[in-house]
Structure 1
Amino acid sequence: MREKGQKVLGVMGGMGPLATQHFYKKIIEKTAASQDQDHLNMIVLNHVSMPDRTAAIKSGDLEDLYHKLLHDAKFLEVGGADYIAIPSNSCHLLVDRLQKHLKIPIIHMIKEAALSVYCRHGSNFKMGILAADGTLATKLYQEECKALDIKVLEPSAENQERIMNIIYKGIKGGAPINKKEFEKVEREMKEEGCKCVLLASAELSCFKEMYGLSDFYIDAMDVLADRAIVLCEKTLKE
């Protein structure tokens, strides 16, 4: 797929499939293009049989997940990708380990999202984070934000259960979503003094678009899409 003067983005997708479709759509919509040829060349893997990330993290057994991710990353590398994007937050627990075995860079969504928050709001403030249990358990976002002097607030146990229901039953499972349940989470974040909330779940990125959430929410997948477009030498829409 390599062509002179054209970068190729490899996407490790399927985690979940709707989130992968959503990321691909973001890349298209965010690229300044007047014809097909202005868009970004991509190789998109929709590996839906990948082990559940939250379950793997909670069990402490990451080896099967790691080896499948490495296989996919190598596939994209051999296929001609110049960069790899993984629109799955929890998988980034293994990115540093994966990177050691690759010749092409993985765009680190966690670091890029934390830096984006810092560029928008500076430091010394409180930010809420909404994510799956597995992502919260990795502490990746918490550590990146701490280094930038940003305090991270996680939801209460009751509200975290609401978020997990939205992610797993609502977006992944296709069950009806009661937006009032999300509003209870939002109320907690605002009452606790959060200046903004980071959506650190691909499914919550889908939710943001479905329900038109405000700029109070910063979407990690948005940040990943922007960075991928720039690195692959295409132009972002203004």
Structure 2
Amino acid sequence: MKNFFTIIGGMGTLATESYMRILNQRTKTTKDQDYLDYIIVNHATVPDRTDYIIDHSKPSFLPSLVEDVKQQSLLQPVFMVIICNTAHYLYKEIQAATDIPIIHMPHLAITTMKKQYPQAKKIGLIATKGTLADHIYENEIKEAGFNISLGDQAVQDEVESLIYDDIKVNGSVDKEKYHHILNTMHDKFNCDVIVLGCTELSLAQEMAPDHGYDVIDAQSIIADKSIELGLKLRKGEEIDFSKIY
């Protein structure tokens, strides 16, 4: 197979499935051959990203992801995506392991937000405590010129419960809990836009969308970008990766 891309997933598996559903549903098709060419790596045993970020004595996820990108590089995909926001804590180290471009999901999400909501004043960020601790999204949002709110401990407890208890453990989305989180960030913390900084939250948005709030869904955005780039590959067009954000 030529002119394909690689998806590094499994962090977690249900979120990766969500990305693939969105990818395939949004690709315009009339026959089997219209779907995009890609390889999915569902590396479910990658050590927990948040555990390592919070406590560096815990197993690092870097060796697993470096191994993945090196293995995939032998097959020569044109680009890769990593379907885990928190894993981008070590993006530079992962990218350094290969010459194949890896699309930076948080950077893509916030550059898209800046174009879509230029008049927004305050941006809410909901994510794992690992993503909050590594400041990836916080720095991106501030560098884009926006104020940011992380909510409070009560919101974070709800977010963690939704991600871990409901989705990762039980494999389900608590609609009321998800909508309550969005409502709190909007009403209590006056957030114009809410960034979903975890792919499990993207799964929640897919399964229980609340259209009453403006959200930036990083996984949805990178799925759209994957389709855009995948169709360029299909047409034999050159891609300037310095201009994709």
TM-score, normalised via structure 2 length: 0.88
C-alpha deviations, 1:18-59, integer Å up to 9, x for none? 111111111111212222222111110111111011101111
- Of the three residues 14, 22, 30, the one matched with 1:18 is 14
Q: CA deviation at 1:180?
A: 3.5
Contact 1:107 1:228 in 2 (8 A): no
Tell me the C-alpha RMSD between the 2 structures: 1.9
Structure 2 unaligned blocks of 5 or more:
234-245
Tell me, yes or no, if structure 1 residue 30 matches structure 2 residue 26: yes
CA–CA distance in structure 2, aligned partners of residues 161 and 203 of structure 1: 15
CA–CA distance in structure 2, aligned partners of residues 107 and 176 of structure 1: 28
CA–CA distance in structure 1, aligned partners of residues 124 and 114 of structure 2: 13
C-alpha deviations, 1:158-216, integer Å up to 9, x for none? 11011001000101111665444334322321122211111111111111122122252
Q: CA deviation at 1:101?
A: 2.1
CA–CA distance in structure 1, aligned partners of residues 89 and 207 of structure 2: 28
What number of residue pairs does the alignment pair up?
231
Tell me, yes or no, if structure 1 residue 75 matches structure 2 residue 75: no
Structure 1's consecutive aligned runs of 4 or more residues displaced over 4 angstroms after TM superposition are: 175-178
Tell me, yes or no, if structure 1 residue 204 matches structure 2 residue 166: no
Q: How does 1:172-191 map to 2 (within 5 A)?
A: 172-174=168-170, 178-191=174-187
Q: 1:142 to 1:219 in 2, by over 3 A?
A: same
For 1:26, give the aligned amino acid: I
Percent sequence identity over matched residues? Answer: 29
Contact 2:18 2:206 in 1 (8 A): no
Residue of structure 1 in register with 2:131 after alignment:
135
For 2:148, what is the secondary structure of its paired residue?
strand
For 2:102, what is the secondary structure of its paired residue?
coil
Residue of structure 2 in register with 1:49 after alignment:
45
Residue of structure 1 in register with 2:223 after alignment:
225
CA–CA distance in structure 2, aligned partners of residues 178 and 8 of structure 1: 36
Contact 1:39 1:234 in 2 (8 A): no
Q: CA deviation at 1:123?
A: 5.2
CA–CA distance in structure 2, aligned partners of residues 201 and 228 of structure 1: 18
Structure 1 unaligned blocks of 5 or more:
none
Which of structures 1 and 2 has the larger relative contact order (alpha carbons within 8 angstroms, sep 6+)?
1
For 1:163, what is the secondary structure of its paired residue?
helix
C-alpha deviations, 1:89-114, integer Å up to 9, x for none? 00011111111221110000011000
For 1:80, what is the secondary structure of its paired residue?
coil
Q: 1:182 to 1:64 in 2, by over 3 A?
A: closer
For 1:225, give the aligned amino acid: A
Contact 2:95 2:102 in 1 (8 A): yes
